[in-house]
Chains A and B, each alone.
Chain A
Amino acid sequence: MRKNINQLRILIILAVLGASIFILMKFPLNLGLDLQGGTRLVFEGQDTEKVKVNDDSMAGVVAVIRNRIDALGVAEPVIQRKGRTQAIVELPGVKDPDRAIKLIGDTALLEFVEAEWTSASEAVLTPEKVKEFYGQDAYLAKVPEVRDGQVVSERPIILKKTTLTGADLKMAYPQIDEYGNPCVGFELNPDGAKAFAELTSRHIEKPIAILLDKKIISAPNVKTPITEGKGIITGSFSPEEVKDMVIKLKAGALPVPVKMVETRIVGPTLGKDSIDKGILAGLVGFAFIIIFMILYYRLPGFLADLALVIYVLLTLSVLSLLRATLTLPGIAGFLLSIGMAVDANVIIFERLKEELRSGKTIKIAVESAFERAFAAILDSNVTTIIAAATLFFVGTGTIRGFAITLSIGILASMFTAIVLTRMLMDLMVDGKVLTSPESKLLYK
């Protein structure tokens, strides 16, 4: 009977150990942006005259951004609302974060504007004069002439009336113009095509300005009426710029412009550095704790060390099962929890020392040590969990990672100390390894 119980105990301990290792091998831990490298953006919707920031417009913003990111092909992006006016985007492992930021943050409002060249100087054409001659909505702008990425000259132009916007597009795609330069091809929906045909028929030899986010890309003169609703947008684009513009035009414009309020870019080197250093620190600290426990508490200390190894594997496997994300503060929280996990064992062993001093047999002393230590372990850990839980609910991002690892660590440490160390101690007592309170395997 006694032998069977001991076998059962060994079986349970091995089962916990085996299950943890299996889970860790099967489901490796998720690494946070700060460890694997990546970009985290928080942006805020900005009110415009026409559209205010509210649930609808922000939902629209998130939907458009999701489309753009999907087109970018990032693995496992996170896109979520934050509060009423903000949204968070996390892009793990993005190679060119600045390109991604631009791609996501640009409003991408495309406009085709009926325009007219002017030769009059700015001094003559005051805003009032422009309105007087060309209509209430008209204003003076400049078309930049770009050569080799440098603006070489600017030509004044009068922008009169927006005829079409990006909303009228049916499709956009990368194309090559007649000179072999990359450009954006587009196709309009039926209504757009009709309006475009009307405009190009009566606007021959005059310019149509193409604006993206209120900046003039180009202003070609209409040579012949365009009736089939197709065209190209030329400018001095690199192939990559064309690609990004197509992504933006396809996904549509943001309902309201957004402003970046937080950007965090972590390069891949830093993350690897952090992991390496975290592992080194963990191993050094762990080794010291193991040695200390054996030197101070002898055999029980060694058993606590075994429980601690299981604790490490168990905590990591629970984290991976919960799909928790391991961040740098998370690693710190986990390592701290190793130091704290020993505490429950220390409480029990100090208690055991007292119980033995009062003249009890080893079996009864072990039993009452665990029983009496329980209230202290429970109450002390619940208070710590209260602090950790607060961090989880109030904190964001990496801090949440810290709170999760700390909380799970505390729960796992209670389990390993109260259940596993207990089993190991009973095993020693029932297996006749520990027989008398005077045993050299015990500390005094």
Chain B
Amino acid sequence: MNIIGKTRLWFFISGTLIVISLATLVGNGVMRGKPMNFGIDFTGGTLLNLRFAQNITVAQVREILHAHNLGGAVIQRSGERDILIRSEPIEGEVRQKIVSELAEKLGGVELLEADTIGPLIGAELRLQALWALIIAMAGILIYISFRFEFIYAVAGVLALFHDAIISTGFMALLWRNVDITFIAGILTILGYSINDTVVIFDRIRENMKKPGKKKFAEVVNQSLLETMARSINTVLTVIVMVLAMLFFGGENLRDLCLVLLIGFIAGTYSSIFIASPIVVWWETRK
């Protein structure tokens, strides 16, 4: 199989996905006022996770919130009898009032979780998240430059941008809630993807040392094929775990698992079809 020979096809596929991702972010920004469905970690606000004693409807909850001037709250069902409410920041006393009113009118409620985050903390966190990404990328760039060559590092990091953009675009497209665990998810994807890429680079490095005159593109292609079984088997075991968490891990892990799922697939793809072809393209461009 000639992977390197079809470089244009791989770049076209990735390019399309990246364009869709960026278009989704811009489109959301225009149509919905923000590129992603940022959670209270980033925007500030209150999250209430409630378990009712009886089956109730979202409309019933909305009615009561309306009376407290919280008509703008997002109310979701998150389990059989669980309701998730996201709103602007609610003061502790108001929250207590709302919860006791819900309990009174809808027949008992248990407070599973109540988070309130001020808007300033959200801004701080956004900055932190950005720094985390920049520092991680820089660290990876330096390490790979040191162990391989600078162009390998650049190709590896470009592949990471590819993964980060596609994972982000996917979450934006699904309009899933994005909070601090999303950042953790993206960083995990980056860690996984670069791991995958380095295993392939390592094989290229090794094959380059072997005697015999082969074209660089051929060596890379051979290395990709030799590591293919490993790339696939590893992503399979990881994805099995992610799927198990997605189906059995509960609502709180769902958004994290979704971004991991798409990110691991994008990461495996970019390690094989993007990072190494970039190196070949650079080395043979003359």
On whether the beta carbons of A269 and B140 are closer than 8 Å, the reply is no
For residue A340, CB closer than 8 A to chain B, the reply is yes
- Taking CB atoms, residues of chain B closer than 8 Å to A419 are none
In residues 354-403 of chain A, which contact B (Cβ within 8 Å)?
A: 354, 372, 375-376, 379-391, 393-396, 398-399, 402-403
- Taking CB atoms, residues of chain A closer than 8 Å to B252 are 274, 328
On whether the beta carbons of B244 and A292 are closer than 8 Å, the reply is no
On whether the beta carbons of A101 and B92 are closer than 8 Å, the reply is yes
- Taking CB atoms, residues of chain B closer than 8 Å to A380 are 194-196, 198-199, 202
For residue B25, CB closer than 8 A to chain A, the reply is no
Q: Of the candidates A42, A328, A372, A387, which one forms a contact with B188 in the assembled complex, judged by CB atoms under 8 Å apart?
A: A387
CA distance A172 to B106 in the complex (A): 43
Q: How many residues of B contact A (CB 8 A)?
A: 70
Main secondary structure on B side of the interface with A: helix
For residue A299, CB closer than 8 A to chain B, the reply is no
Beyond A350-B229, A384-B191, whether A281 also contacts B111 by CB under 8 A is no
A-B contact count (CB 8 A): 217
For residue B23, CB closer than 8 A to chain A, the reply is no
On whether the beta carbons of A383 and B110 are closer than 8 Å, the reply is no
- Taking CB atoms, residues of chain A closer than 8 Å to B180 are 395, 398-399
- Taking CB atoms, residues of chain B closer than 8 Å to A292 are 236-237, 240
On whether the beta carbons of A394 and B135 are closer than 8 Å, the reply is yes
In residues 285-343 of chain A, which contact B (Cβ within 8 Å)?
A: 285-286, 288-289, 292-293, 296, 328-329, 332-333, 335-336, 338-340, 342-343
Closest to A382 in B: B143
CA distance A328 to B257 in the complex (A): 13
On whether the beta carbons of A340 and B192 are closer than 8 Å, the reply is yes
For residue B16, CB closer than 8 A to chain A, the reply is no
For residue A14, CB closer than 8 A to chain B, the reply is no
On whether the beta carbons of A346 and B248 are closer than 8 Å, the reply is no
The contact sample of 30 A-B pairs, CB cut-off 8 A, is A97-B114, A98-B96, A261-B118, A262-B115, A263-B114, A263-B116, A267-B113, A269-B110, A270-B49, A273-B112, A278-B253, A280-B249, A281-B244, A282-B244, A285-B244, A292-B237, A336-B188, A336-B242, A338-B241, A350-B230, A379-B201, A383-B144, A386-B136, A386-B140, A387-B139, A388-B191, A390-B132, A391-B136, A391-B184, A394-B129
For residue A260, CB closer than 8 A to chain B, the reply is yes
CA distance A406 to B256 in the complex (A): 15
For residue B165, CB closer than 8 A to chain A, the reply is no
On whether the beta carbons of B237 and A387 are closer than 8 Å, the reply is no
Q: Report the minimum CB–CB distance from B239 to chain A (whole Å).
A: 8
Main secondary structure on A side of the interface with B: helix
Closest to A384 in B: B191
Interface string of B113-136 (1 = CB under 8 A from A): 111111011000000110110011
- A residues lining the B interface (CB < 8 Å): 42, 44, 97-98, 101-102, 259-267, 269-270, 273-274, 277-278, 280-282, 284-286, 288-289, 292-293, 296, 328-329, 332-333, 335-336, 338-340, 342-343, 346-347, 350, 354, 372, 375-376, 379-391, 393-396, 398-399, 402-403, 406
On whether the beta carbons of A273 and B250 are closer than 8 Å, the reply is yes
- Taking CB atoms, residues of chain A closer than 8 Å to B181 are 329, 398-399, 402
Q: Report the minimum CB–CB distance from A257 to chain B (whole Å).
A: 15
On whether the beta carbons of B121 and A42 are closer than 8 Å, the reply is yes
On whether the beta carbons of B206 and A383 are closer than 8 Å, the reply is no
Beyond A269-B110, A328-B252, whether A387 also contacts B184 by CB under 8 A is no
Closest to A389 in B: B139
For residue B60, CB closer than 8 A to chain A, the reply is no
Indicate the member of A44, A102, A393, A394 with the most B CB atoms within 10 Å: A394
- Taking CB atoms, residues of chain B closer than 8 Å to A277 are 248-250, 253
Q: Of the candidates B117, B144, B227, B253, which one forms a contact with A261 in the assembled complex, judged by CB atoms under 8 Å apart?
A: B117
CA distance A266 to B242 in the complex (A): 25
In residues 24-81 of chain B, which contact A (Cβ within 8 Å)?
A: 49, 51
Q: Report the minimum CB–CB distance from A393 to chain B (whole Å).
A: 8
- Taking CB atoms, residues of chain A closer than 8 Å to B2 are none
Beyond A336-B188, A384-B192, A406-B188, whether A262 also contacts B116 by CB under 8 A is yes
Closest to A348 in B: B230
CA distance A376 to B226 in the complex (A): 13
Q: Of the candidates B51, B249, B250, which one forms a contact with A269 in the assembled complex, judged by CB atoms under 8 Å apart?
A: B51
On whether the beta carbons of A261 and B121 are closer than 8 Å, the reply is yes
- B residues lining the A interface (CB < 8 Å): 49, 51, 92-93, 96, 110-118, 120-121, 128-129, 131-132, 135-136, 139-140, 143-144, 147, 180-181, 183-184, 187-188, 190-192, 194-196, 198-199, 201-203, 206, 226-227, 229-230, 233-234, 236-245, 247-250, 252-253, 256-257, 260
Indicate the member of B139, B239, B241, B257 with the most A CB atoms within 10 Å: B241
Q: Report the minimum CB–CB distance from B3 to chain A (whole Å).
A: 17
On whether the beta carbons of B244 and A395 are closer than 8 Å, the reply is no
Closest to B239 in A: A339
Closest to B142 in A: A386
Beyond A383-B191, A391-B187, whether A332 also contacts B234 by CB under 8 A is no
- Taking CB atoms, residues of chain A closer than 8 Å to B196 are 380
CA distance A160 to B219 in the complex (A): 90
Beyond A263-B114, A274-B252, A383-B144, whether A333 also contacts B188 by CB under 8 A is yes
Q: Report the minimum CB–CB distance from B266 to chain A (whole Å).
A: 15
Beyond A101-B92, A273-B250, A336-B260, whether A383 also contacts B194 by CB under 8 A is yes
On whether the beta carbons of B92 and A394 are closer than 8 Å, the reply is no
Q: Report the minimum CB–CB distance from A369 to chain B (whole Å).
A: 12
On whether the beta carbons of B115 and A387 are closer than 8 Å, the reply is no
On whether the beta carbons of A376 and B51 are closer than 8 Å, the reply is no
Q: Of the candidates A262, A336, A379, which one forms a contact with B198 in the assembled complex, judged by CB atoms under 8 Å apart?
A: A379
Q: Of the candidates A281, A336, A396, which one forms a contact with B238 in the assembled complex, judged by CB atoms under 8 Å apart?
A: A336
- Taking CB atoms, residues of chain A closer than 8 Å to B234 are 340, 342-343, 346-347
On whether the beta carbons of A339 and B117 are closer than 8 Å, the reply is no
CA distance A259 to B120 in the complex (A): 12
On whether the beta carbons of A296 and B184 are closer than 8 Å, the reply is no
On whether the beta carbons of A260 and B202 are closer than 8 Å, the reply is no
On whether the beta carbons of B198 and A281 are closer than 8 Å, the reply is no
CA distance A340 to B120 in the complex (A): 37
CA distance A417 to B49 in the complex (A): 41
Beyond A332-B245, A336-B238, A372-B206, whether A383 also contacts B143 by CB under 8 A is yes
Task: Contacts A262-B121, A270-B49 known; list 17 others, CB within 8 Å.
Answer: A263-B92, A265-B115, A266-B113, A267-B111, A281-B249, A332-B253, A332-B256, A335-B244, A336-B238, A346-B237, A379-B202, A381-B195, A390-B187, A391-B136, A395-B132, A399-B181, A406-B188
